[in-house]
Each structure stands twice: as structure tokens, then as C-alpha cells.
Structure 1
Amino acid sequence: MEQQSKRIVALDLIKGMSVIGMIIIHTLLINANVQSRSETAIGGFIVFLGRGTSIFLICMGITFMTSSHQSLKSSIKRGGLLLLAAFFMNFMKFIIPVIFGFASEDFIQKFGWHGPIEQQYLYLVLLGDILQLAGISLLFVGFIRKYVKNKFGILAIGLLIALVSKEISGINMDYPVLNYISDLFFSNDFPANVYFPVFPWMSFIIIGMFFGKWFQETNYDSKKLFKNMLYVGLLFIAVGAPLVFLYGDYNYGGFYHMGPGGVIYFAGWTLIFLWAIFNISLKMKENAFMRILKYCSRNLTSMYMIQWILISWGKGIFGYRQHGIGFVFLLIVLYMILTFSVQISLDLLRKKKPLIMFRRISTDEAVLK
């Protein structure tokens, strides 16, 4: 049987949609008032979309296993670069507005801080988001990819991390630097320095790796892959739902600090969602919107950083959580335009071809990207 393409169009579309989605979600979270976020159907739906982090992480795990860069060294290097990018993004988000005098007072007052202003902004620079999670995870999952050859062994590691997460969450070293590192791995406070601790969130990446390995074993047959996702997703929901709804305090306990049941339950729905998007993508013809999504997918990390920096800077201009849903929609359009404009400008500076999003690309060219 001839080997099929390693590239899965559905994953490109999903990652591209996540770029569009995160601009919408982050704009709402930063600019919308309480009524707009919680008392309108549109605001509630957008907040619900913000619970889709597991989709991105499982996709990350799949592509990690099928990447052309398979060495342990490349995984560690990529992880280190993502960590540097994460702290650079926080510096740009929070310190640049202070240096140039357009920081949002409303945002600082929200925390009710007391003490030296330097300490407050150090807290913000160290704020742990999804880039820190991805960077730290890459430092570890490279070893799994290199040394664990059985796909069920990979899955067992992912589920084990979910299983022990509640038991080891909240570990505190009582020393500032060590305590921050322990927060990155085990934080259970909200709000805290860290929104996405490695335990349990790395579980989703490893579950994605399990399917990436399965994809390899099917000779890169994407139809078999997504059918397997459907079956495993249904199994995960059957196992996770009773745990979440009957023993929710331990197995869920909040979106950012889930227990084992929450991880399994969210992973189940994520896998079914991926199966549905794959089947929809089979019926779609190449068009301009799909090419834009693929462009976003190729530039996911940089566009994630760009939109967060722009939205954070905007707090000093538009205020923090002050606006109704109509004005927020105008800001969403503004930040969409600005994010794409900055990304395209960076492409031009690096002599890439951003206008590739507006034309067809051949199958061979797509696989190389």
C-alpha cells in the first residue's frame, strides 16, 4: 500500500480556526463588562469557546509525532525557544505599556495589590500561560517519543499524569524561584501565577501523541485515524462523565485545574469534535477562507503572541472590562486586522510570501510547509 500524506488538512483548519477564535475570546475577556460576558447569549457562547484549549493540545501532540524533526535535541531546543517566547510575550504585554506610560490602571487595580510596583510587574512577566505549558511539555515529551515505542504505553503515561495530578497539585517549595517552578508544574490556585499547569494539561498533548503514533501505524491513513478518535472519544466520555457529574469536586474542580475525570471527559469531547471537523473537511473544496486558515496554522505561535500583545496594549486605550457587546465586536474586527497586518509585515521583512494564503498551493508544496 502506498504511504499517504502525513499532513492532515483537518488539523490545519482546526489550528487556523483556533487563531481566529483566540482573538475573539481574548478580546471579549479583556474588554467586555460582566454583563456582556455572562448575561448575553453571544458572550456566554464565546466564553464557552474559550474552553477549547484541549483541542489545540491534542492537535499539538499529533503533529509532534508526525513532524519531520524527530530528534530529542530538536524537541528540547523547541521547548526552550517556546519558553523564551512566552516570557518575551509577557514582557511586551505588561512592561512595555509601563515604560511608555499607557498601562491600564483598571487592570492593576483588579488584583488589589499592595507593595512595591516592581513586584507586581514581576508577577505579570512570570504569568504562566499556554506557551509556558507547551515549552515545558516539549522538554519532556521528546523523551517519551524517543524511548516509548508502544502507542498504549504513550497513552498510559498521559492517563497516569491525569490520575496523579490532583494528588500532587499545590506542591509548594517555600523558596521564590523553586515555588514558581513548582507552580508551573502543580499550581492549583486561581488566579495564580500559572493558568495551565503541566499537571494535568500535558496529558492532552500525550493523548495526541498516542493518536499520532496510531496514525503512523495505519500508514498515515487519516480516515482510520479519525474513526479511531470517534471510538476512543465515546469511551472517554462514558468513563469521564460519571466521574465529573457524580464526583465533580475531585474530578473537575474548575477548568484550569481538572482532576482525572475532567481530563478524560474533555479529551472525549475533543476527539469527537476532531472527528466531526475531519468529516466536514472532506466535503470542503479549496477556497480563500481555507487558505487563510492554513496560513494561520503555519503561523500559530507568532500570531498567538501578536494578538495577545496588541489586546494587552489596548487595555491602556480602551480600558479593562468596561464595554458592551457591540463595542467589543468592533474591537474584535480591529484586532483581527491588526494581527494579520503585523504577521504579514513580519513575513515581508523575513522575505516570506504571505500572499500564499490567497492562492492555491499544490499538494506537494502543502506537505513541505
Structure 2
Amino acid sequence: MEQQSKRIPALDLIKGMSVIGMIIIHTLLTFADVKSQSETVIGSFIVFLGRGTSIFLICMGITFMTSRHQSLSSSLKRGGLLLAAALFMNFLKFIFPVIFGFAPDNFIQRYGWHGPIEQQYLYLMLLGDILQLAGMSLLFIGFIRKYVTNKYGILAIGLSIALVSREVSGINLNYPVINYVLDLLFSNDFPAYVYFPVFPWMSFIIIGMFFGKWYQELDYNRPQLFKSMLYIGILFTLSGAPLVFIYGDYNYNGFYHMGPGGVLYFAGWTLIFLWIIYKISVNIRENKFVRLLKYCSKNLTSMYMTQWILISWGKGIFGFRENGITTVLALIVMYIALTFSVQILLDLLKKKSQKSKPVEALN
């Protein structure tokens, strides 16, 4: 009962919504032509939704601090597993279609490569997305949770990572394996393109850890926690906005490789959004849709991998960025249904496997 009281239902709903949201966003970005993405109201709105990565990361930081698994070893183990899962997902996303001959030509041509085909495949295998960020971050934040006991110390680390992120961006030692790790940390684009480098994106996770620690100190008082989020969110937004809009070249530099001002600005709006969702969620009763979102939250990692693999395979059938908005909307519905179908099938296989274990032990 004590463990249940620590859970924040609003975060489960947000993570659940993020699962459905990412299917919508990834389907549009993969299949919609440029006009549909930028010149239609629906396309522009979905692209805007894609800027909500910080919401998921701050939620990850909060739940990391209140998780039952508090040991450093569990954090390191999960980080390693996520990195392995990320490579496996990239293999199924990119290399599997090439092996079996259903990868569209214009997807490979999009990158304008002229080097050996093996180098192009390596680039795709090592592509860095949110799973790589989560895995790399877990290798660090476990140490923070174990050794930094003051919540303001945790916040200082998170803000410091944002502060130096533009300065360390592009560090390159020109040794292949080491350089890939540096890619994931600092994004030097060699040998891989990393959408979410640890610097600065881990800042959002650590900001979430700050609130998770505060939540513990408040004796799991949810209203007080979200009120604090609102106030700090307003402070962050007001601090980050002038940096982004006046000194944008350094502090924003594009969504994926933002500087310190961008982190403050996006973190601020995220905290305000979390407060809004919390205020809405306290008046929501348990219903089928809420249960659906909780199901998505519980299976977030596997559904993330599933939808990306299915969408990537679909490029061989529906083309890469060749479809109008009407077709894309139909594909969104189809991919939501497919992702849930595969997840339910995985659940059934898992349940069947667990039931068979006692029988095997008796034999």
C-alpha cells in the first residue's frame, strides 16, 4: 500500500499519451511528404507535438527517484540492456529491410552518401535516438541517485550539464569505438548521427530527479509537488525565453542540439504542462481510456521499439516521405492498431512462457 501511494497517476497518463503520440509523430515524419508536414494544419500540429521529448524525460527522472529498484547495479544493468535493445532495434529498423530487399532507394539517397555501402549500413546501425539517450543516462544517473543526497545538488548537476553542452559538442578523438561513445555523449556526427546526445538532454532527466527527490522530502505530497513545479516552471521559462529569442544561435541551435537557454525554456514549459495535466487528472475517474494509457505506460519501451520497427518496414510498402496527409492519417490509425496488436501478442507469449516454467521444472 505504501508503494502505491508513491505513484503519481498523472505521470502514468502522460507516459501513456506519449506512446500514442510517438506513433502519430513517427508515422507522419516517415511517410508524409514535405508539403503535408509543413503546409497543412494537421501536419504542422503533429510536428509541433514532436517537440515534447522533454516531457517524457522529466517524467523518467521523477519515477527513477521513486522506483522500487534503487540500487546502483540495477541502474547500470538497465542502462546496458537499453543500449543493447537500441542496437537490436536499429538492426531490425534499417538492416533487416536491406537484407530482404524492401528498403526504399530514396531513403538511402536522402543522406547523400558516396562512401562504401558497408559504411552507410554502419551509420544506420549506430543512429542514436531516445533509447540510446536513456541507456547512456542510466549509466550516470545511478551514481547521482546514490551519492548526491541534496536535491539542490542534483539540480545543480542537471543545470551544469546544460550550461556546458554547447562547449563540449563535437568532441572527437578519431578512434571508432571511443568516437561512437563520444557521439552518444556530445554528438560529433561521426560515425553516427545522434538525435538526443547526453549533453544536453540528460539535463531534463536530472531536473526530473530533483523533483523526485523533493517529492520524497514532501512525504509524497502530490499537490505540493506540482505547485512547486508550476512556480519553478514559470521561473525557468522566463529565464530561458530571452536567451532563446535574443541569443538563439548559441542557446537554441535547433531542437536536437540546444544550448543552456533552450534547456531552461523547454524545461519550464514542460513543468507548467505537467502541472496542467495533474490538475486535469485529479478529476478524471478510472475508465477504459485511462486503463489504456496505463497499459501503454507499463509497456513503454517495448511499444516504442515495436512501432519504430513496424513503421520502418512500412517504408518498403508505402514509400519514404511520398504521401499526402489523408493517406498518412489512415496509416496512423493502422500503425496504432498494429502496435497494440503486436504488444498484446507479446503479452500472451510472455504469459504462456511463465505458465510453462513450473511444468518444465517438474519434468
2:355 paired residue number: none
Q: Is the 8 A contact 2:123 2:192 kept in 1?
A: no
Cα distance in 2 for residues equivalent to 1:204 and 1:166: 16
Deviation at 1:85, TM superposition (A): 0.5
Match of 2:36 in 1: 36
Q: Deviations over 1:152-190 (max 9, x none)?
A: 000000000000111111111122222221111111559
**Number of residue pairs the alignment of both structures matches:** 351
Secondary structure at the aligned position of 1:283 is classed as: coil
Instruction: Give 1:6-155 correspondences, 5 Å limit.
Output: 6-155=6-155
Q: Deviations over 1:80-139 (max 9, x none)?
A: 000000000000101111121111112011111112211111110100101000000000
Which residue pairs with 1:266 in the alignment?
Answer: 266
> Residue 226 of structure 1 corresponds to which residue in structure 2?
226
Instruction: Answer yes or no: is the 8 Å Cα contact 1:31–1:315 preserved in 2.
Output: yes
Q: Following the alignment from structure 2 to structure 1, what is the Cα–Cα distance between the partners of residues 122 and 132?
A: 16
Return the alpha-carbon distance in structure 2 between the equivalents of residues 5 and 67 of structure 1. Answer: 12
Change (3 A) 1:9 1:289: same
Q: Distance in 2 between matches of 1:49 and 1:265?
A: 16
State the Cα deviation string for residues 243-296 of structure 1 (Å, max 9, x = none): 111111111111001100000000000000000000000111111000000000
Give the alignment's TM-score, normalised by structure 2: 0.95
Instruction: Look up the SS of the partner of 2:171 in the other structure.
Output: coil
Hey, what's the Cα distance between the residues in 2 that align with 1:254 and 1:47?
A: 14
- Counterpart-to-counterpart distance in 2, 1:8 and 1:294: 11
Q: Deviation at 1:242?
A: 0.9
Corresponding residue for residue 362 of structure 1:
none
Asked if the contact 1:97/1:103 (under 8 Å) is kept, the reply is yes
Equivalent position of 2:335 in the other structure: 335
Structure 2 CA distance, aligned partners of 1:351 and 1:298? 15
Q: Distance in 1 between matches of 2:254 and 2:273?
A: 21
Q: Distance in 2 between matches of 1:173 and 1:48?
A: 36
Q: Does 1:284 align with 2:284?
A: yes
Aligned match of 2:324: 324
Please tell me the residue identity of whatever aligns with 1:270.
T
> What's 2:168 paired with?
168
Helix, strand or coil: the match of 2:75?
A: helix
Q: What is the root-mean-square deviation of aligned Cα atoms in Å? A: 1.5
Q: What does the per-residue CA deviation read over 1:186-217, in whole Å, with 9 as the maximum and x for residues that have no partner? A: 11559952110000000000000000000001
What percentage of residue pairs aligned between the two structures are identical? 79
Bigger Cα displacement from structure 2, 251-260 vs 185-194: 185-194
Q: Which moved more, 1:18-27 or 1:242-251?
A: 242-251
Matched, 1:195 2:206: no
Q: Which amino acid aligns with 2:75?
A: S
Which residue identity does 2:241 align to in structure 1? A
Distance across 2 between alignment mates of 1:138 and 1:26: 25
Instruction: Specify the code of the residue in structure 2 equivalent to 1:63.
Output: T
**Counterpart secondary structure, 2:45:** helix
Partner Cα distance (1:192, 1:11) in 2:
32
Tell me the TM-score normalized by structure 1. 0.93
Find the aligned partners of 2:4 and 2:224 in 1 and give their Cα distance.
Answer: 12
Partner of 2:296: 296
The answer on whether the counterparts of 2:93 and 2:313 sit within 8 Å (CA) in structure 1 is yes
In structure 1, distance between residues paired with 2:33 and 2:124 = 22
Opposite residue 101 of structure 1, the aligned amino acid is G
Q: Is the 8 A contact 2:172 2:188 kept in 1?
A: no
C-alpha distance in 2, partners of 1:190/1:296? 34
- Give the conservation status (yes or no) of the 8 Å contact 1:4–1:221: no
Stretch deviating more after TM superposition (113-122 or 81-90)? 113-122
Does structure 2 retain, via aligned residues, the 8 Å contact 1:4–1:219?
A: no
Q: Deviations over 1:14-57 (max 9, x none)?
A: 00000000000000000000000000111000000000000000
The runs of 5 or more residues in structure 1 that have no matched partner are 353-369
1:55-86 deviation per Cα after TM superposition (whole angstroms, max 9, x unaligned)? 00000000000000000000000100000000
